[in-house]
Chains A and B, each alone.
Chain A
Amino acid sequence: MKVHKLTATQKNKLIGIEYIPNCTYNPVQDDNGIWIITSEEVEQTTDEKFAWVKDLPQIEYVKPKF
């Protein structure tokens, strides 16, 4: 599954921000410690202030071990 890669600075800009009503971005780390958000969050972003998420590079998701 493809997800979108974030820098730590980009991650901090998204935490707690609603991208659709009653739903916030939730950047998480994959098994390699890389911050990611999902394609659903990117595709449903309409706020121009966060349009930069549309340009985030895609990577393959690696599920963290737990």
Chain B
Amino acid sequence: MFGNYIGASNPRFFGGLDADAAAFIAVAGITDATQKTAIDNLYKDLKGQGANNSSYDFYTRLTAFWLFVGGTSTSCSFNGKTPSSGNTYNLTYSGAAPTVNANGIKFNGINGYADTKVPQNLISNSANGLSVYFRENVANNEIQIGYLDTSTYKATEIGMGYTSGANTKFFGGNKYDENFGATNYQSVGINGLIRLNRTTSNNYKVYRNGSQTESFNYLSYNNTDTSTLVIGGVKKSSGGVQAFSIKTFCYADIMTSNSLSAAEELVYYNCIQAFQTALSRNV
């Protein structure tokens, strides 16, 4: 309905809705008034025009993001960035179809995942970001989003909540070797918004709920493999997916060539958390 419309840049055209929010609501078939308001407020926040963010334009920096709202696997598949039925980064599913409800989307931990269609080689070696927001505070040896070069074991991935001895650790990489983080999350928790953030070629960080929890001084590496990142596991350069996730995802994003400052990380979290709170699925 709103796929190719005139006047899309004028929010008043849609009765006050942000034009991109209106496009998402239309393509995803959202009818619930609470969900519509939450989506509209999120778009305004991401653009620096909302109640939780009037300073930063995150929307332009995002390559793709997925809201996991609407209650069906189809409604959850649409990329929120310039949404349309033909968007390059709309999700496709594989394995057992996900369980979808008001809390988001959950895979089975055996063979279910969603392909983001974002090739790993598009992700910059000097500025990038990935996020997942999930609900369960349950340690499990799984990757929530990512890609793994199985010849070098260098990865761009988030695996929050690995068991390492008596500790619960971050496991992952950002254009570098898979590594455990230093923080033990056993008492502080692993759920919420987990972000991987590379701001320079020789350092990347992990944030949980807007606060930095890890910092790695690792030089990024070049890799021309065009394999795509997946949500719900990790895509292997050799083919297939492994380390399947059993988390309920409420949000995910990829910034292929932009990152956030420490101050922006907190504001970004506030935007995402407000969206989840409006949908009564915040943790």
| Chains A and B come from one and the same complex | yes
Minimum C-beta distance from A22 to chain B (A):
6
User: Would B111 and A22 count as touching, CB distance under 8 A?
Assistant: no
Q: Which residues of A contact B93 (CB under 8 A)?
A: 22-24
- Report B74-119 residues with CB < 8 Å from chain A CB: 74, 77, 92-97, 108-113
CB distance from B138 to the nearest CB of A (A): 15
Contact-residue size bin, chain B (C-beta under 8 Å from the other chain) = 20 to 34
Within 8 A of A (CB), among B53-79: 73-74, 77
Asked whether A26 and B241 contact (CB < 8 A) given A37-B111, A38-B108, A38-B110, the answer is yes
Whether the Cβ atoms of A22 and B242 lie closer than 8 Å is no
Contact B97 A20 (CB under 8 A): yes
**B residues in contact with A3, CB < 8 Å:** 110
Query: Would you call A22 and B95 a contact (CB within 8 A)?
Result: no
Instruction: Say how far B69's CB is from chain A's closest CB, in angstroms.
Output: 17
B108 touches A40 (CB 8 A): yes
We find that the number of chain A residues with CB closer than 8 angstroms to chain B is: 21
Query: Known contacts A40-B97, A64-B242, A66-B141; is A22 also within 8 Å of B92 by CB?
Result: yes
Give the distance in Å from the alpha carbon of A27 to the alpha carbon of B94 in the complex: 9
Residues B73 and A22 in contact, CB atoms below 8 Å apart: yes
Among B73, B77, B110, B141, residue most surrounded by chain A Cβ atoms (within 10 Å): B110
Q: Is B274's beta carbon under 8 Å from chain A? A: no
- Taking a contact as CB atoms under 8 Å apart, the answer to whether A23 and B110 are in contact is no
B96/A40 in contact, CB under 8 A = yes
Binding site for A on B (CB under 8 A): 73-74, 77, 92-97, 108-113, 141-142, 240-243
- For the complex with contacts A22-B77, A66-B242, 5 further pairs of A-B residues with Cβ separation under 8 Å are A22-B73, A23-B97, A26-B113, A63-B110, A64-B242
